[in-house]
């Protein structure tokens, strides 16, 4: 039985941050988006910290892959479960 209820997709801060962006981004666009330097983004790309593809001398970043990487690296606990606190002993 259909109730006519509308399914509204969940969004989060990353979805909001990337809203209206093209499917691919350049390193300078990522730097502006994340508030960091272009050199920092190129460093992350070379080290594999964020996913990217280099064609010739130009890097491009697939927006969905970057969002996924950032989401996986978030330091906020997921599912409302806090990790156990480990206290150091003297």
The CATH number linked to 37 is: 1.10.10.10
Asked if the model's pLDDT at residue 5 lies above 70, the reply is no
- Whether residue 71 lies inside any domain: the answer is no
Q: Which of 1-5, 22-26, 34-38, 53-57 has the lowest mean pLDDT?
A: 1-5
**pTM over cut 0.75:** no
**Pick from 17, 22, 20: which is nearest to 33 by CA?**
17
- Whether residue 41 lies inside any domain: the answer is yes
Range of the domain at 28: 15-63
Domain count, the chain: 1
Q: How confident is the model at residue 80 (pLDDT cuts 50, 70, 90)?
A: low
- Whether residue 3 lies inside any domain: the answer is no
- Whether residue 9 lies inside any domain: the answer is no
- Whether residue 34 lies inside any domain: the answer is yes
Give pLDDT tens digits for 39-52: 999 999 999 999 99
SS (H, E, C) 70-89: HHHCCCCCCCCCCCCCCCCC
**Can you give the pLDDT at residue 74?**
73
- Whether residue 74 lies inside any domain: the answer is no
């Amino acid at each position: 039985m259909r109730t006519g209820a509308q399914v509204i997709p969940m969004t989060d801060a990353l979805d909001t941050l990337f809203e209206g962006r093209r499917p691919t981004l350049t390193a300078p666009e990522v730097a502006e988006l994340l508030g960091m330097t272009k050199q920092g983004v190129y460093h992350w790309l070379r080290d594999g910290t964020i996913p990217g593809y280099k064609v010739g001398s130009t890097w491009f970043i697939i927006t969905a892959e970057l969002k996924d990487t950032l989401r996986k690296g978030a330091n906020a606990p997921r599912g409302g479960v806090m990790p156990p606190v480990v206290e150091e002993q003297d």
